[in-house]
Amino acid sequence: MIGLNEAITLAVSAHAGQTDKSGEPYILHVLRVMLAQKDVEAMTVAALHDIVEDTSITLADLEEAGWSARVVAAVDALTHRDGEDYFDFTRRAASDELAKPVKIADLRDNLRQATDVGAQDRRARYLKALALLGEA
């Protein structure tokens, strides 16, 4: 079975060239969320948390590569689906015990990064999502 090292390698490769709203390499967000986790399994999920949503990699690709069903399910829970209400997505992510701390770290990092012009609406959304999770 594969784990954290492979997740980091895949994330670096898959997010290569992507930048966040402030122009920084996107992988830095992924790594900050990963480092906020308390155990290796959660760190693995955090390394993969945006890979299905923001790259061409699919959940089936993760399964085929050998990640555990538990890790793949958590990544699935952290993947915002087209047309899905953001707060419904937040609740769905929080319903998976492995995904919940990753989602909390993701929201906190997004909130910390939301300093660009026009970030007011995103900040409000992140604060509301954290409140839904009992974290604000």
Residue 18 main-chain phi, psi, to 5 deg? -80, 145
Active-site entry in 20, 41, 54, 61:
54
CATH class given for the domain over 4-133: mainly alpha
Q: Per residue in 46-102, pLDDT tens? A: 999 999 999 999 999 999 999 999 999 999 999 999 999 999 999 999 999 999 999
Q: Per residue in 8-57, pLDDT tens? A: 999 999 999 999 888 899 999 999 999 999 999 999 999 999 999 999 99
Domain extents in the chain: 4-133
- 54 is an active site residue: yes
Q: Would you tell me how many other CB atoms lie within 10 Å of the CB of residue 6?
A: 16
For residue 54, the SS3 value is: helix
